Structure 1
Amino acid sequence: MPASPLKLFRLLGRTAAGRWTFSRIICAKAPYFASIAPLIEALAPGRCVVTLRDRRRVRNHIGTVHAIAMCNAAELAGGLATDVTIAPGQRWIPKGMSVRYLKKARGTLTATARVEAPPADAPAQEAHALVEVRDAANEVVFDADITMWVSPRRE
């Protein structure tokens, strides 16, 4: 990707077509995310919002949105939020994820990730991306705490 994700989102994210294009670019870079066809609605340091439409390919055997589809949306939102929050001299990788499935998930879901920036000059450390997934009634159906390992970039 030629530009940083944040710069690219600021360029494309002002319109629905631009957000769709940005989402497809991210899915091309990390192809597994394409399995849920996410739409990245908002991206700023400390925050990312991703929507996931309820359709057959993300459903489980009981007709609700599959737990792993929500994990996928949470990891995308948490990863992007972390990526645009850390300092340019840092890198990140998910280290673990704790999730809670709070109620049956139906309809369009919105995953909102929040992450605090670790100090730019800090040694390698953990950061936490906290993600809530809400349904159309604004009820939390799932939440996650994604542990990110943030370390200085190697030269």
Structure 2
Amino acid sequence: MGRQLFSKALCFKAPYFSSIKPLMADLRPGAAEVQVKKHRAVLNHLGTVHAIAMCNMAELAGGMMTDVSIPTTHRWIPKGMKVEYLKKATTDLSAKASGQLPEVWPESGEFVAHVDIQDLHGVSVARMEIAMWVSAKK
């Protein structure tokens, strides 16, 4: 129940993510995993998971990974996303985020979250790179 309660609390804090009904499966510095079941609210006209639903998954996974990776003296905001759609997403999905953590965080700079979205068979259906602007809190 811990993952489900955490995921619900996360959606309460950031309501936009509620539409994809995410489950935060893993969260630690440098890595995160968000799972989404294929359900009506995330489907496109073809009956596959919508591209923007996958972008939401990627932003959630990348953002949460960034949040637990940066020092408490810093904050972050996404500033851009590169997206590659590789295959139709016909099953439940898993978004795995990773990032190369610096030894010392600079006062400010860009941090890139790499996100791979896979189907139930482990096949990559989309890849994203999310540029996060990380800066010291004022």
Q: Which category of TM-score, normalised to the shorter sequence, fits these structures? A: over 0.9
**Residue-by-residue CA offset, 1:52-111 (whole Å, 9 max, x unaligned):** 100111000011000000000000000000000011111100000000000000111000
Structure 2 residue runs without a partner (length 5+): none
Question: Structure 2 length normalisation: TM-score?
Answer: 0.97
Establish whether residue 80 from structure 1 lines up as the match of residue 64 from structure 2: yes
What is the Cα-based RMSD across aligned positions, in Å? 1.0
Q: Counterpart amino acid of 1:57?
A: A
Quick one: higher RCO (CA 8 Å, sep 6+), 1 or 2?
Answer: 2
Flag the 1:81–1:121 CA change in 2: closer, same or farther, 3 A: closer
Deviation beyond 6 Å, 4+ runs, structure 1: none
Structure 1 residue runs without a partner (length 5+): 1-16
Q: Could you say which residue in structure 2 is the equivalent of 1:67?
A: 51
Q: Could you say which residue in structure 2 is the equivalent of 1:5?
A: none
Question: Structure 1 length normalisation: TM-score?
Answer: 0.86
Flag the 1:153–1:118 CA change in 2: closer, same or farther, 3 A: farther
Q: Could you say which residue in structure 1 is the equivalent of 2:6?
A: 22
| Mapped contact 2:70–2:105 kept (Cα < 8 A) | no
Mapped partners of 1:149, 1:94: distance in 2: 6
Flag the 1:112–1:121 CA change in 2: closer, same or farther, 3 A: closer
Flag the 1:121–1:46 CA change in 2: closer, same or farther, 3 A: closer
Identity, % of aligned pairs?
50
Mapped partners of 1:89, 1:118: distance in 2: 15
**By how many angstroms is 1:120 displaced?**
4.4
Mapped partners of 1:121, 1:65: distance in 2: 36
Q: Going by fraction, where is strand more abundant, 1 or 2?
A: 2
